[in-house]
Amino acid sequence: MKTGDLLARLLQNDPLALAKAITAVENRKKDYQKILEGIYPLPGDVLKIGVTGPPGSGKSSLIEKMIEGFKPQNRPIAVLAVDPSSPLTGGALLGDRLRMIQHGNDPNVFIRSIANRGHLGGLSLSTREIVDLLQAAGKQIIIIETVGVGQSEVDIVNVADVVLMVLNPESGDEIQIFKAGIVEIADIFVVNKTDLGGGDSKVCEIRNFFALSGRVPMIFPVSVKEERGIAELLAGVLRFQREEKEHIVRKSAALKRNYIERIVAERFQEEMRLDPVIEALLREGSAANPFHVAGRVVKRLKKGDSHDKKD
């Protein structure tokens, strides 16, 4: 499929074209940048929800129920599930899509799993670009599920408007979860599996954590198994979107700047790979002062010399 045809079909919400575009961007195939350049400006009226939490907290099961709850709104839904990838092969099980297979035949729901490619923040560099593709295709509710909570899981703030952190009553992950820099990424806390008991204690624990900061967190106890608390959670997400509109707009502007910076960094890295003079400098750098080598690389990049010129 030619890039122009692919773009035209993508913008008409063709699921096959969307899938092909995502594959091209994720794998950095030829002309992937042309695809991305052709989707702007993006349509508005979109809600991007990040879902994070420790493995086994029930994120995928919760997302299934969220899809069911959002369906009556008749808004196109997309789920992007980020799965851990092998450090050796780069492959991933991509099992979250299997857990949500009951929604696979719904034309109003698009589900895609991608590998995190070993990215420390739990999200690959192309995740933001794939979310933009979903938005360009007319998806109005985009749910991004991460690998699992960890000290570097904060990258989800670079994608989502609102972040849900899913916990269990007796998760035993309090120390890891409440490390500085992690708990702050959550806009809403979801205490799942309350049918097992102990939900009230976990809610109190979260509130006590924020007592000294003055923040009153939004907390929703739910039971996916008993289908309890889901409607209240979704209402809370929509209320957050409505009441925190200015915050989301400011955050979106910051995310756009962050994205542009990452594009610039990626372009410079590509220039470095293609320039034989810089490549030679980097090879020599193992025995040289790295700051001096870096300075020479930056100087050459700023000069804008063509790759076939000699330094």
**pLDDT for residue 41:** 92
**pLDDT for residue 26:** 85
pLDDT for residue 169 is more than 80: yes
Per-residue pLDDT band at 176 (split at 50, 70, 90)? low
Pairing of strands 47-52, 218-221: unpaired
85: helix, coil or strand?
strand
The answer to whether 92 touches 99, Cβ cutoff 8 Å, is no
Q: Where are the beta strands (DSSP E) in the chain?
A: 47-52, 77-83, 109-115, 141-145, 162-167, 188-191, 218-221
Place of tokens 């002309």: 31
**pLDDT for residue 113:** 85
> What are the structural domain ranges in the chain?
1-40, 42-243, 244-311
Least confident of 114-128, 177-191, 221-235: 114-128
Q: Once rounded to an integer, what is the mean pLDDT over residues 165-193?
A: 74
Sign of CA pseudo-dihedral 141, 185, 206, 244: negative
Element (H, E) at 261: helix 245-274
Mean pLDDT of the chain: 82
Pairing of strands 47-52, 141-145: parallel
Task: Give the chain's count of helices (H) and strands (E).
Answer: 12, 7
**pLDDT for residue 22:** 93
The answer to whether 122 touches 167, Cβ cutoff 8 Å, is no
How many whole angstroms separate alpha carbon 89 and alpha carbon 118?
10
| Residue 104 or residue 44, greater confidence | 44
pLDDT digits (tens, 9 = 90+) for 117-145: 444 433 456 788 999 999 999 999 999 98
252: helix, coil or strand?
helix
The answer to whether 20 touches 2, Cβ cutoff 8 Å, is no
Least confident of 83-87, 132-136, 171-175: 83-87
Q: Which of 195, 156, 186 is nearest to 61 (CA)?
A: 195
Q: Say if domain 42-243 classifies as CATH 3.90.950.10.
A: no
Record the tokens describing residue 109, joined without a space.
Answer: 């729901």
Q: What is the C-alpha R_g of the chain?
A: 22
| Residue 99 or residue 159, greater confidence | 159
pLDDT for residue 56 is more than 90: no
212: Cα within 13 Å, side-chain hemisphere: 1
- DSSP designation for 90: -
**pLDDT for residue 27:** 84
pLDDT digits (tens, 9 = 90+) for 23-42: 999 888 888 989 999 999 99
pLDDT for residue 86 is more than 60: no
The answer to whether 113 touches 94, Cβ cutoff 8 Å, is yes
**pLDDT for residue 172:** 60
Q: Once rounded to an integer, what is the mean pLDDT over residues 45-64?
A: 89
What percent of the chain has pLDDT above 70?
79
